[in-house]
Chain A
Amino acid sequence: MKSAGSLYFAGVDLGSTMTKVVIIDGDGVIRARVETHTGAEHRRLANRVMEQALKQAELPFEEITYVIATGYGRINVPFADRQITELTCHARGVTSLFPSARTALDIGGQDAKGLKIKDGKLTNFVMNDKCAAGTGRFLEVIAKTLGLKLEELGDISLKSQNRVNISNTCTIFAQQEVISRLSEGVPVEDIVAGLHEAIASRAVGMLRRLGIEGDVVFTGGVAKNKGVVRAVQENLGHQVLVPDDPLISGALGAALLGKEIAFKSLEKGEPLPKKERRLAEATFYK
């Protein structure tokens, strides 16, 4: 039998906006991580991102003991052995990054989630995936209106001296409001800071409904935005923990759960419930 260190596990997090793949070894050490934009063709993409991760880890696909898919597009990962919801995977990933975490905020491309975690397990959650306001999509739409790149927003907002209050919740109405403020000559940084405050106050309101306990971890693509992180901290009244790479907690959690499932089977001497899988291109467009 192979030693634990030479077993490998992959987590594939197919989000609405970004796809993330993490490969870990049997000791839980990250061997590869890849992040890329999710296109319209999930299945073909999942396959391509996995190949990139394998190349980074210098492993053939057959060496991967177990593959867990998670995220909004998890059913579109034809080579996964099992699907697990992103909430469970996030809770696992967040706990491995910050063992002290009891509350997690994840703001992704099309949703925002609040998680309560105890002993590494998810105990409760709240979620908004019904409305673009309060998600990364809100920032994306407004960045486009302002002619800015998404990744520029954070630094720009930190220059603000006089934050604007954005009165509309709806992304579409806020977009118009931003155009009006621009035409009034309001500096861009004050507008962007106002948008960050809008998204942060919604997120913290969501967390308060859930009940904030212990250390708060902030993950998801929006956690890369320093302006939003600052606004979230101001709303909470204390610091939040942000991983070096806020995007991978779901994929990392998926890989870790895969490892745990596999080790449990090995301990009992049972065969792993593997699917017949192939790393082939699949597409639903002819």
Chain B
Amino acid sequence: MAYFMGIDIGSGTSKGVVTRDGEVLAYHLLPSGANYRAAAEKLRAELLAKAKLSSQDIAYTVATGQGSASVPYSDGQVTDIRCCARGISKIFPSARTVIDVQAQSSQVIRLGERGQVVNFVVSEKCAAGSGRFLEVIANVLQVELEDIGPLSLKSKRPVAFTTGCAVFGESEAISRVAEGNAKEDILAGVHQALADKISTLVERVGLEKDCTISGGGALDIGLVRSIEEKLSLKLLVPPQPQLVTALGAAIMAEEMAA
């Protein structure tokens, strides 16, 4: 019996999946921290414990993500674009566009009919297009990351951000707090600013339905709604959006071992 492992070392979170015949046996997530190698080792130990396997049982491991080179036990590395595409096609075979919102970058991928990558565009130069912008503002507002989405949905009058820069956005958020604006209105404003940035990425690759969202940003219901509003469509959201790329890596591992 052959088992496969997909390891996605992201800038914020490390994710791992163990599969057999394309089905998920175990998964685990942990913060990447400053030492990707240590995170990768710990991730494997947790995954093997959860799947009740030893390292010899794993036939092939694919590493992906920002820290993919720091996975000492990997048999191969694949870009996170390809892994994300593979993972989302497994979950939603009808997906043609994927919006992947990560801690430090956002990317939009266009898929062909067989789930292959047709085109993609990455925004990684600027924090304003990524989950990091939300993190910065949540810190100013002293709101926990997981509370951002539900809180923002209560907003009646979203505050418009005049800047596209996360650093200037931080100052702007402080000014808006001083003027007495509600937290939910400020958060809803950040969601709109992010949705604006992301929609320009979508325009650049060309939108085709079905459109899906993955990555940690997809856990934020407020952001999902803002993007849906901006693009005037309904997004398909996988049940565990952070694991999509790791799942894709595990599927690639099965293919590469064959």
Interface residues of A (CB under 8 A from B): 40, 110, 130-132, 137-138, 141, 168-173, 180, 183, 285
Question: Given the interface contacts A170-B127, A173-B104, does A40 sit within 8 Å of B175 by beta carbon?
Answer: yes
Of A132, A168, A171, A183, which one neighbours B34 at CB under 8 angstroms? A183
Question: Given the interface contacts A40-B178, A110-B168, A130-B164, does A172 sit within 8 Å of B136 by beta carbon?
Answer: yes
Interface code B135-178, partner A: CB below 8 Å = 1, 0 otherwise?
01000000000000000000000000001111110000001001
Q: Which residues from 93 to 123 on chain B have a C-beta closer than 8 Å to any C-beta of chain A?
A: 104
Q: Is B132 an interface residue (CB 8 A)?
A: yes
CB<8 Å pairs between A and B, sample of 7: A132-B168, A141-B167, A170-B126, A170-B127, A172-B132, A173-B127, A180-B34
Contact status B104-A171, CB under 8 Å: no
Q: Is B125 an interface residue (CB 8 A)?
A: yes
Complex CA–CA separation, A171 to B127 (angstroms): 8
Contact status B127-A172, CB under 8 Å: yes
Please indicate the chain A residues that have their CB under 8 angstroms from the CB of B165 in the complex.
130-132, 171
Q: How far is the CB of A42 from chain B (nearest CB, A)?
A: 11
Complex CA–CA separation, A40 to B104 (angstroms): 30
Contact status A131-B132, CB under 8 Å: no
Please indicate the chain A residues that have their CB under 8 angstroms from the CB of B163 in the complex.
130
Q: Knowing that A130-B163, A170-B166 are A-B contacts, what are 10 other residue pairs whose CB atoms are under 8 Å apart, sorted by A's residue number?
A: A40-B178, A137-B167, A138-B167, A141-B167, A172-B132, A172-B166, A172-B167, A173-B104, A173-B127, A180-B34
Of A169, A183, A285, which one neighbours B126 at CB under 8 angstroms? A169
Please indicate the chain A residues that have their CB under 8 angstroms from the CB of B136 in the complex.
172
Contact status A131-B126, CB under 8 Å: yes
Please indicate the chain A residues that have their CB under 8 angstroms from the CB of B168 in the complex.
110, 131-132, 137
Query: Which residue, B125, B126, B136, B175, has most C-beta atoms of chain A within 10 A?
Result: B126
Complex CA–CA separation, A141 to B169 (angstroms): 13
Complex CA–CA separation, A285 to B178 (angstroms): 9
Q: Which A residue's beta carbon lies closest to that of B135? A: A172
Q: How far is the CB of B174 from chain A (nearest CB, A)?
A: 8
Query: Which residue, A130, A172, A183, has most C-beta atoms of chain B within 10 A?
Result: A172
Contact status B167-A169, CB under 8 Å: no
Q: How far is the CB of A10 from chain B (nearest CB, A)?
A: 27
Please indicate the chain A residues that have their CB under 8 angstroms from the CB of B166 in the complex.
170-172
Please indicate the chain B residues that have their CB under 8 angstroms from the CB of A180 in the complex.
34
Q: Which B residue's beta carbon lies closest to that of A138? A: B167
Complex CA–CA separation, A138 to B167 (angstroms): 9
Q: How far is the CB of A40 from chain B (nearest CB, A)?
A: 6
Contact status B127-A169, CB under 8 Å: no
Complex CA–CA separation, A132 to B169 (angstroms): 10
Complex CA–CA separation, A172 to B105 (angstroms): 12
Please indicate the chain B residues that have their CB under 8 angstroms from the CB of A110 in the complex.
168
Please indicate the chain A residues that have their CB under 8 angstroms from the CB of B126 in the complex.
131, 169-170
Complex CA–CA separation, A156 to B48 (angstroms): 49
Q: How far is the CB of A137 from chain B (nearest CB, A)?
A: 6
Q: Which B residue's beta carbon lies closest to that of A172? A: B127
Please indicate the chain B residues that have their CB under 8 angstroms from the CB of A130 in the complex.
163-165
Of A168, A171, A183, which one neighbours B167 at CB under 8 angstroms? A171
Complex CA–CA separation, A132 to B34 (angstroms): 25
Q: Which B residue's beta carbon lies closest to that of A171? A: B167
Contact status A131-B175, CB under 8 Å: no
Complex CA–CA separation, A162 to B153 (angstroms): 50
Complex CA–CA separation, A180 to B11 (angstroms): 13
Q: Which residues from 18 to 71 on chain B have a C-beta closer than 8 Å to any C-beta of chain A?
A: 34
Q: How far is the CB of B209 from chain A (nearest CB, A)?
A: 32
Please indicate the chain A residues that have their CB under 8 angstroms from the CB of B128 in the complex.
170
Query: Which residue, A132, A168, A183, has most C-beta atoms of chain B within 10 A?
Result: A132
Complex CA–CA separation, A253 to B148 (angstroms): 47
Of A132, A138, A170, which one neighbours B125 at CB under 8 angstroms? A170
Contact status B34-A131, CB under 8 Å: no
Please indicate the chain A residues that have their CB under 8 angstroms from the CB of B178 in the complex.
40, 285
Complex CA–CA separation, A40 to B180 (angstroms): 14
Q: Which A residue's beta carbon lies closest to that of B164? A: A130
Q: How far is the CB of A43 from chain B (nearest CB, A)?
A: 14
Q: Which A residue's beta carbon lies closest to that of B174? A: A40
Please indicate the chain B residues that have their CB under 8 angstroms from the CB of A285 in the complex.
178
Complex CA–CA separation, A26 to B92 (angstroms): 76
Please indicate the chain B residues that have their CB under 8 angstroms from the CB of A170 in the complex.
125-128, 166
Q: Which B residue's beta carbon lies closest to that of A137? A: B167
Please indicate the chain A residues that have their CB under 8 angstroms from the CB of B132 in the complex.
172-173
Contact status A131-B127, CB under 8 Å: no
Please indicate the chain A residues that have their CB under 8 angstroms from the CB of B175 in the complex.
40
Q: Which A residue's beta carbon lies closest to that of B35? A: A183
Please indicate the chain B residues that have their CB under 8 angstroms from the CB of A137 in the complex.
167-168
Complex CA–CA separation, A141 to B34 (angstroms): 20
